[in-house]
């Protein structure tokens, strides 16, 4: 019973981090959603089903669980927001080259990782 509550609390924490990640492009959304789904699957079928049926987050989780892939739209939005916010960050960090290099490296590594993930195939009827 204690383990169930621990998984539920962790799921809520990961869901909160995912929601913050929607607003802050430096914080990833999808990994936290997947962690939340995993925690909810072990603790609360109601929260798990709610997350899977959510129109914004459900398709991402479903694509990952069934195909280990993401949609082209999700990948493009993620890379675009990383490039935009990374570029803005680099622009405003004018006198600290090491920090600019660090931010640029993080954007490049994140983009590389996303480019390596398989894309969900579109189903044409």
Q: 98 and 76: one domain? A: yes
Say how many domains are in the chain: 2
Q: 49 and 94: one domain? A: no
How far is it, in rounded angstroms, from Cα 86 to Cα 15?
A: 24
Boundaries of domain holding 36: 1-68
Rounded to an integer, the average pLDDT of 59-71 is 85
pLDDT-derived band at 125 (thresholds 50, 70, 90) equals very low
Q: 64 and 5: one domain? A: yes
pTM listed for this prediction = 0.69
User: Quick check: 26 pLDDT over 80?
Assistant: no
What Rg do the C-alpha atoms of the chain give, in angstroms? Answer: 17
3-state SS, residue 68: coil
Please name which of 21, 35, 30 lies closest in space to residue 114, comparing C-alpha atoms: 30
């Amino acid at each position: 019973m204690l383990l169930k509550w621990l998984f539920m609390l962790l799921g809520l924490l990961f869901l909160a981090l995912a929601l913050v990640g929607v607003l802050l492009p430096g914080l990833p959304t999808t990994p936290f959603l997947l962690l939340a789904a995993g925690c909810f699957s072990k603790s609360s079928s109601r929260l798990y089903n709610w997350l899977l049926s959510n129109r914004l987050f459900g398709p991402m989780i479903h694509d990952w669980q069934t195909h280990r892939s993401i949609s082209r739209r999700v990948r493009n939005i993620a890379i675009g927001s990383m490039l935009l916010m990374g570029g803005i960050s680099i622009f405003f960090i004018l006198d600290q080259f090491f920090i600019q290099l660090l931010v640029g490296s993080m954007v490049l590594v994140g983009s590389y990782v996303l480019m390596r993930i398989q894309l969900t195939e579109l189903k044409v009827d």
